Chains A and B, each alone.
Chain A
Amino acid sequence: MQVRARAVNRFALAFRLPVIVWQGLFFLGPLFFMIAMSFFLVKNYRMEEAFELKNWARMLTRGYVWDSYWYTFGVAGLATLAATLIAFPAAFALAFRVSEAVRRWAIFLLIIPFFTSYLVRTFSWYVILAESGVINAGFGTVGLGPYTLLNTPIGTVVGYLTLTLPLVVILQTVALANIDRNLVQAARNLGCPPRRTLFAVIVPLAKAGLIIAALFCFILSFGDFVAPYYLGGSKPPTLPILIIDTTKSGQQWPRAAVVAVMMMLTLFAIAATSIWLAYRRRSSA
């Protein structure tokens, strides 16, 4: 029996090994290198290995770094909230109100935007958000506007939603579609009104999926460079823009690594909290 168990373990390991090797080589390796690089120094545009706290001291004491940090956190959080709220009715309809065939088609259509480059999709918003664009033309017909939508935080959030909304709808749909219908039916049979069924039965049952969808939205938005640069006008810059600015000026990759590590730590904290919230068991009273 022991020999057989060992053979099974080897078999399982052989299948797991590629993922472990991949993660080690292309995630953990670069991550450790990035952390190490944040202690390096730059002399004559060339990085020199060192273990100095100068980069950390410099970046953490600059007001603009913290301004960027809180702005990025806020605008990514806003996009996450918006995506979650906008996606939910659509996901609910796809999970509960349409046939299996319609749901499959809808999910296929939600995947289609990913066939096109995100940069191209972002640039297409110029035509819509510009002062002479489609939205302002619509406002113009009722005597309103034009409003400045490009190069504002609104533009940034629109860009983030372009990136994340289809994904959030798909993840929410999957979460809602996997709910045991008998539990929903039981609640209704016991006289629970629709709204209460939604908030007391459906949302708690789909909680893990809904939180994971929001988490993905936050992670993608927090690290996105394209939307805040091209639709937000880099005004103010988010952390990914700050990283680019830092590397462009004097090739301060170590200082950019400090910002990147700050971002990673933030995302680890957010992900850990989200997973805890998603999978914690409700304490029995």
Chain B
Amino acid sequence: MSEQVNLTRRSVLAMTGATALCAPFIGRAWASTTEINMLAWYGHGEADIVGAFEEANNVKFKPKYYAGGDNMLALIAQSPPGTYDVILSDAEFVQQLNAAGYIEPLDANDYPFDDMLHDDFRKFPGHWDGDTLFSMMVRFGHLGVSYNTTAISAEEAMSYKCFWKPEVKGKVGHFDWHLPSLGMMSLYNGNGAGLWDLDDAEWNAVQETTMSLRPQVGGFFDYGGTFNSLKNGEMLAMCGIGDWITGVLEKDGAPVASVIPNEGGIQWTESYCIGKDSSKADLVKTFIQYMLSPEGQVKSAQMAAYPGNCITRGGRAALVAADGAEAERTNQVDGNPMDPIALINDGRIHYRDIPINQTLEDWNDFWSEYKNA
């Protein structure tokens, strides 16, 4: 039955020639899929978020992931204009992106501002330059006390004071980024809405408070380390994070939770921008619109890497309908007193910012000293 194939020099040359002649057509078939270069936090270019959009629009995302706004700015600064088509930025860094000319203006009429869950989201700080929109908010989350429910009670977790509890000595971890942790220490010191606007005396006090926490600290972790140490019980409380990490663990059955304590919490906000000189601006606009659609908002709320809250009414309604348990777990239900929107309205949430009277370098220098103490 088997037929012997005789490979002669002539047949090999013929096949090679045929392959070479076909190559341009194969190339063209591949080229019809448009590549979109994305710069984002980990997870935003994965199939659970962009898969359906890729399929529907015949595009392929090429994500480059960063950790932290500084890292993002540097990656853009070191790349030629047009390298990134879509940039996911932490809100507090949008102004710097705009000032450096790294992003294109957006047309506000393209986005569902009428459907926003909160008025602040319509004119989010730093996203507008006068009447020109430069970045479109897509999701947010809150940072507060993240804790192991077997070691810290829900009542105790209502104050950052629980980090100093003798029973958790050596078991308090830090997400290794100065901004959220020092922001929380500033809130604990009673700086409230002025947590980023510290004069010398207040800044010194924040440093003192932070240093007093050092004997309690068991380690400084990146995303993976934070995740592991909470999961295996090595750390019983974590400073600098929120539901974006404990939410994933909680869904996995770990005894961890995050709450916004009485001193207040910090909001992280993620927004999409179109990269300067991107040749795919229209496609990116369609993608941002997709992420703001009810379907996109649900995907964002269920994101495998880390969940984020919906910002539109349509998105919230779709989440409640599609995944009521997740909506309940994250309090994204109208009338719930811990509803993230209600917390903002109550004045318990402060948008993450960069220090106003000190430089990021000052804060980072202190952070290095603190880690070495």
Chain A residues engaging chain B, CB cutoff 8 angstroms: 44-46, 62-64, 67-68, 71, 123, 126, 130-133, 148, 150-151, 229-230, 232-237, 242, 245, 247-252
Contact = CB atoms under 8 A, between A and B. Distances in A.
B78 interface: yes
Interface of B: 67-68, 70-71, 73-74, 77-78, 100, 170, 173, 176, 178, 217-222, 224-225, 228-229, 232-234, 360-361, 364-365, 367-369, 371-373
A248 B368 contact: no
A133 B364 CA distance: 34
A151 B217 CA distance: 10
A163 B67 CA distance: 27
Given A249-B360, A251-B77, A64 B368 contact: yes
B220 A68 contact: no
A251 B74 contact: yes
Contacts of B361: 249-250, 252
A235 B70 contact: no
Secondary structure of the A contact surface, majority rule: loop
B178 to A, nearest CB: 8
B254 to A, nearest CB: 13
A248 B371 contact: no
B221 A233 contact: yes
B233 A235 contact: no
A150 B225 CA distance: 11
Contact of A63 (B73, B234, B369): B369
B77 A45 contact: yes
B78 A234 contact: no
9 contacts: A45-B77, A45-B100, A62-B365, A67-B372, A235-B218, A236-B372, A245-B176, A249-B367, A251-B70
B232 A68 contact: no
- Nearest 7 pairs between A and B by C-beta? A233-B219, A249-B364, A251-B74, A151-B219, A234-B220, A64-B372, A67-B372
A68 B218 CA distance: 17
A132 B234 CA distance: 8
B296 to A, nearest CB: 30
Nearest to B219: A233
Nearest to A245: B368
Contacts of B73: 45, 251
Given A67-B372, A234-B221, A251-B74, 16 more contacts: A45-B74, A46-B78, A62-B365, A62-B368, A64-B368, A64-B371, A151-B229, A230-B225, A233-B225, A234-B176, A235-B217, A237-B220, A237-B371, A242-B368, A245-B364, A250-B70
B70 to A, nearest CB: 6
